[in-house]
């Protein structure tokens, strides 16, 4: 059981559920997000389970701020588990994606993951110890018409994490990629269409924790969506394109 854990996007959804899942006496959780009020609420939930919570209001797009905060935490107490979870969702409902939306999805979901992982990767390698979980998605298995930038950002971090896993293992660092299907959070609350095999965040957090404890390279869940992901990759492009055009689209960002 890791005793010093960092989670980005811990102010809500899956990140908060993960924080509560790991909360226990002897465990310190560093909770990152932008909204101080929601971070404080997550910290209270951690404390209620006997864990120690420290909140850090920071934007994952800010490389310098992330590096400064993470390096300070790691210097005080080495981070044992780092969960790069913060992300945004956006799609093409009502038309194509704006340039700004496309760039912001990559800034948060890709640059934000790099800004979280890179400052701590070196120190973990140096001490030959540590675990890094990268939040991807089943949506990252194939580009879909409903959310091109989101799918691409999730594919990028998945593939990066898969490669990094093999490479960092030589230095004693475990890297895991997490690919959820639909989880009931504020993010999916905005979708407004029926989501197959939707699961509550508490169940998602339990599955992630078990997967990380077993050091699974790719943690895809629920199993029904793992099968969907397999089909998305295995079927001919023309078939997936035709299917993708018929799927409901994620809403665009305001
Ligand atoms: N829910 C699903 O079905 C699902 C499925 C597959 C993958 N995922 C992935 O799982 C992760 C968590 O999603 P969720 O469903 O829990 O979403 P959520 O409820 O919307 O939570 C997203 C979290 O990310 C944080 N965040 C967003 N932009 C940020 C920024 N620029 N800087 C710092 N923090 C930021 C938010 O914190 P603040 O608002 O406080 O900034 C919030 O804590 C995301 O990477 C998402 O893509 C979700």
Q: Provide the 3-class DSSP secondary structure of residue 111.
A: helix
* Ligand 1 atom 1 nearest Cα: 183
> Using omega within 30 degrees of 0 as the cis cutoff, is the peptide bond preceding 222 cis?
yes
**Which of the four pLDDT bands, split at 50, 70 and 90, describes residue 246?**
confident
Atom of ligand 1 nearest to the CA of 150: 47
pLDDT tens, residue by residue, 163-203: 999 999 999 999 999 999 999 998 988 888 888 999 999 99
Say which residue, 206 or 97, is predicted with more confidence.
Answer: 206
For residue 239, pLDDT beyond 80: yes
For residue 45, pLDDT beyond 80: yes
Output the pLDDT for position 245: 83
Percent of the chain having pLDDT more than 70?
Answer: 100
Rounded Cα gap, residues 216 and 24, in angstroms: 23
Q: What is the mean pLDDT of residues 68-87?
A: 98
Sheet of strand 4-7: strand arrangement: 52-57, 28-33, 4-7, 81-84, 131-135, 174-180, 218-221
Between the alpha carbon of residue 47 and those of residues 28, 40, 225, the distances in Å are: 10, 10, 33
Residues 6+ away with beta carbon under 8 Å from 213: none
H/E segment holding residue 32: strand 28-33
Output the pLDDT for position 177: 98
Q: What is the mean pLDDT of residues 205-214?
A: 98
Rounded Cα gap, residues 108 and 90, in angstroms: 12
**What is the Å distance from ligand 1's center to 185 Cα?**
9
Count other C-beta atoms under 10 Å from residue 61's C-beta.
15
Ligand 1: does its nearest atom lie under 6 Å from the Cβ of 90? no
The catalytic residues are 150
For residue 115, pLDDT beyond 80: yes
Q: What is the mean pLDDT of residues 28-44?
A: 98
* Ligand 1 atom 44 nearest Cα: 87
Q: Which domains, ranges and CATH numbers included, belong to the chain? A: 4-246 (3.40.50.720)
Residues facing residue 33 across a β-bridge: 57
Q: What is the mean pLDDT of residues 19-34?
A: 98
* Ligand 1 atom 45 nearest Cα: 87
The pTM of this model reads: 0.96
Q: What is the mean pLDDT of residues 109-123?
A: 98
For residue 92, pLDDT beyond 90: no
Output the pLDDT for position 254: 67
Output the pLDDT for position 252: 84
Output the pLDDT for position 118: 98
Atom of ligand 1 nearest to the CA of 180: 6
Output the pLDDT for position 175: 98
For residue 63, pLDDT beyond 70: yes
Atom of ligand 1 nearest to the CA of 59: 32
Ligand 1: does its nearest atom lie under 6 Å from the Cβ of 15? yes
Q: Which two tokens stand for residue 168?
A: 């960092």
């Amino acid at each position: 059981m890791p005793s010093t854990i960092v989670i980005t996007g811990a102010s809500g959804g899956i990140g908060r559920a993960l924080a509560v899942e790991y909360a226990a006496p002897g465990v310190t959780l560093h909770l990152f997000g932008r909204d101080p009020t929601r971070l404080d609420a997550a910290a209270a939930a951690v404390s209620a389970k006997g864990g120690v919570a420290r909140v850090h209001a920071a934007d994952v797009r800010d490389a310098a701020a992330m590096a400064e905060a993470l390096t300070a935490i790691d210097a005080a107490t080495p981070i044992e588990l780092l969960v790069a979870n913060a992300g945004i969702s956006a799609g093409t409902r009502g038309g194509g994606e704006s340039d700004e939306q496309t760039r912001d999805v990559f800034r948060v979901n890709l640059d934000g993951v790099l800004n979280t992982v890179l400052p701590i990767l070196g120190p973990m390698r140096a001490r030959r110890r540590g675990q890094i979980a990268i939040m991807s998605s089943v949506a990252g298995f194939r580009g879909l018409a409903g959310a091109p930038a989101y799918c691409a950002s999730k594919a990028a971090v998945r593939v990066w994490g898969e490669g990094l896993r093999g490479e960092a293992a030589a230095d004693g660092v475990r890297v895991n990629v997490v690919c959820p299907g639909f989880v009931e959070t504020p993010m999916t609350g905005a979708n407004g269409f029926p989501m197959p095999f939707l699961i509550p965040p508490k169940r998602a957090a339990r599955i992630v924790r078990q997967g990380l404890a077993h050091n699974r390279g790719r943690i895809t869940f629920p199993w029904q969506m793992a099968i969907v992901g397999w089909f998305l990759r295995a079927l001919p492009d023309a078939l997936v394109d035709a299917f993708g055009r018929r799927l409901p689209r994620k809403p665009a960002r305001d």
